[in-house]
Amino acid sequence: MQRILSLDDIRFTYTPDEPDKPMAVDGVSFDMQPGEWIAVVGHNGSGKSTLARLMIGLLFPQEGKVELFGDTLTEENLWDKRSQMGMVFQNPDNQFVGATVQDDVAFALENNGIPFEEMTVRVREALGQVKMDGFLDHEPQHLSGGQKQRVAIAGALALRPRLLILDEATSMLDPQGREEVIRVILELREKTGLSVISITHDLEEALLADRIVVMNRGRKFAEGTPREVFANGNELTALGLDLPFALRLSSLLREQGVTINETMSERKLVESLWTSRLNG
Ligand SMILES: Nc1ncnc2c1ncn2[C@@H]1O[C@H](COP(=O)(O)OP(=O)(O)OP(=O)(O)O)[C@@H](O)[C@H]1O
Ligand SMILES: [Mg+2]
């Protein structure tokens, strides 16, 4: 099957005239298969957003190559490739251009020359996918954070992308808003086989991914399934990342002599505590 994305040893610096400064992205490679969800985590300034900008051709690497849907990304095919991607950023307020929810979602379609009839269908469909079809004529600025971010995602989905890139798209949201957004994306992926890259500080969110890429100082520090990556919990803590709650609590309890399995899921932690109590 064709790869959705492939990064091959890419390097990028914002300051090419100052070779002594560390590079923002320094020799990163990884591949993505169709339908995969990859979470990219790392401390502030580790190069995550730069990586996202390189993936969508807002920046070009000084070395190495970015491959999208089977072709190396170039100035020539940039617009064609970008029309197959959706991107959502951290702050929903900076992303609204329309006076109403439906205008806003229609905006990118209009720019892409989608005919009016088709546009109406797609706007409704995308807003339905994020459960915001009851808000067509609402003003975006009066929505809650979670609702705004769902509208921003609808804007990206209306383009029917093959790849959705979320850069801290849930970080301004309260836990409920965050859960809403994540549930919607999980459902969509299930239904449509959408591939997702989510850049996040939230390791609980990263747990849901098929694979996690950990960035540190512009380099790929680790890559693997959540289980593989969190197996080296201490290393991640040393990088300044907060481990998932259940993993932290279960290892603390073990240190205190409680006989339970180390686990990443809160449900399993509760089950394990019950069993340990019944046996102990
Ligand atoms: N527009 C820019 N001009 C110059 N340097 C930049 C620019 N954007 C980022 N950098 C630098 O590049 C490095 C990587 O930054 P980047 O924003 O990619 O990190 P990040 O992992 O997304 O951080 P955060 O978690 O804070 O969003 C940092 O040292 C940062 O200071
Ligand atoms: Mg960033």
Exposure b/e, 88-107, CB count within 10 A at least 16 = b: bbbebeebbebeebbbbbbb
45 pairs with which residues across the strands? Answer: none
Does any ligand 1 atom lie closer than 6 A to the CB of residue 216?
Answer: no
CB 211 within 8 A of CB 225: yes
Q: Exposed (0-12), middle (13-18) or buried (19+): which is 156, by Cβ within 10 Å?
A: buried
CA separation, residue 172 to residues 38, 67, 178, 209 (Å): 20, 31, 8, 20
Does any ligand 1 atom lie closer than 6 A to the CB of residue 200?
Answer: no
> d(Cα 178, Cα 137) in Å, to the nearest integer?
24
Closest protein CA for atom 12 of ligand 1: 24
CB 199 within 8 A of CB 48: yes
Reference 251, options 236, 239, 240; nearest CA is: 236
Contacts with 58 (C-beta within 8 Å, 6 or more apart), sequence order: none
CB 189 within 8 A of CB 4: no
Ligand 2 centre from 45 Cα, in Å? Answer: 7
Per-residue confidence in pLDDT tens, the chain, 280 aa: 689 999 999 999 999 999 999 999 999 999 999 999 999 999 999 999 999 999 999 999 999 999 999 999 999 999 999 989 999 888 767 677 888 999 999 988 888 888 999 999 999 999 988 889 999 999 998 998 888 888 998 998 898 899 999 999 888 777 887 887 888 888 888 888 899 999 998 888 898 899 999 999 999 999 999 989 988 878 888 888 878 788 888 878 888 888 777 777 777 788 888 877 666 5
**Max CA pair span of the chain:** 68
Q: Exposed (0-12), middle (13-18) or buried (19+): which is 218, by Cβ within 10 Å?
A: buried
CA–centroid distance for 50 within its chain: 14
What is the token pair recorded at 182? 């994540």
Q: Which atom of ligand 1 is nearest to the CA of 53?
A: 18
Does any ligand 1 atom lie closer than 6 A to the CB of residue 128?
Answer: no
Query: Interior CA angle at 130 toward 128 and 136, to 5°?
Result: 55
Ligand 1 centre from 49 Cα, in Å? Answer: 7
Q: What is the pTM of this model?
A: 0.88
What is the token pair recorded at 81? 């490739």
Does any ligand 1 atom lie closer than 6 A to the CB of residue 16?
Answer: no
